[in-house]
Amino acid sequence: MPDPLADLWPPFGLRVTCGPLVLRPVRDTDFPDVFAVLHRGVHDPDRMPFYVPWTRPSGAELERRFLQYHWGNRAALAPDAWQLDLGVWHSGRFVGMQGVTTSHFPVTRTGETGSWLGREFHGQGIGTLMRQAVCVLCLDHLGFDEVTSAAFSDNPSSLAVSRKVGYRPNGEQRLAREGVLATNVQLVLRPEDLVRPPCDVEVVGAEAFLELVQARAT
């Protein structure tokens, strides 16, 4: 079925499928499902896995900040620096988000992956599968030479996912997380190290997305 909005804004036509998993940009009509998962929790409230503690607010304030951030990323798309935020659906149910952020992309050909997953969906292999899917998208379809990631040393789940996907250690950073020193573990994934998922990854709309980015460069 034709999608006039995707014709105007090609990111909306991007879709990645891997077995029961679908990754695609979130549309405004998806936000109620997104907020429902956010309000049920993304992580243990006694811990903070993110450098920017965006999950601390609650209620309408969390929703407003999420909207501002998400809409801002859409509007800021540019050829040398873009962020692609993909919602993740597992067996038709929204479970979280997986993204990649770039800077000076035409030169560096690299970007950093980041994600969040509703607590109720942890421990089911979904986090690994969605990371594998986005890495296949980046390395096979969007022209990346490498993909990076990072996680605090006290976030073993994220670090375990990175190891399963094939990321290798790439140094450490000392960061102030909510005013307290924390070690941020840097990781890098190159095409030859990628551990591909057990299911085929099907990508639709990558060419149109790249054409949009390249057109905005001229």
What residue ranges do the domains of the chain occupy? 14-216
What pTM does this model have? 0.93
Residue of 116, 96, 100, 76 whose CA lies nearest to 206 = 100
Distance, CA of 11 to CA of 168 (rounded, Å): 30
Q: Which residues of the chain have pLDDT under 50?
A: 215-218
Count of Cβ atoms closer than 10 Å to residue 150 Cβ: 23
The CATH classification of domain 14-216, taken from the options 1.10.101.10, 3.40.630.30, 3.40.720.10, 1.10.645.10: 3.40.630.30
For residue 1, what pLDDT is reported?
67
State the virtual CA torsion across 66, 89, 126, 195 in degrees, nearest 10: -100
Listed in sequence order, the residues at least 6 apart from 6 whose beta carbon sits closer than 8 Å to its beta carbon are 12, 13, 205, 208
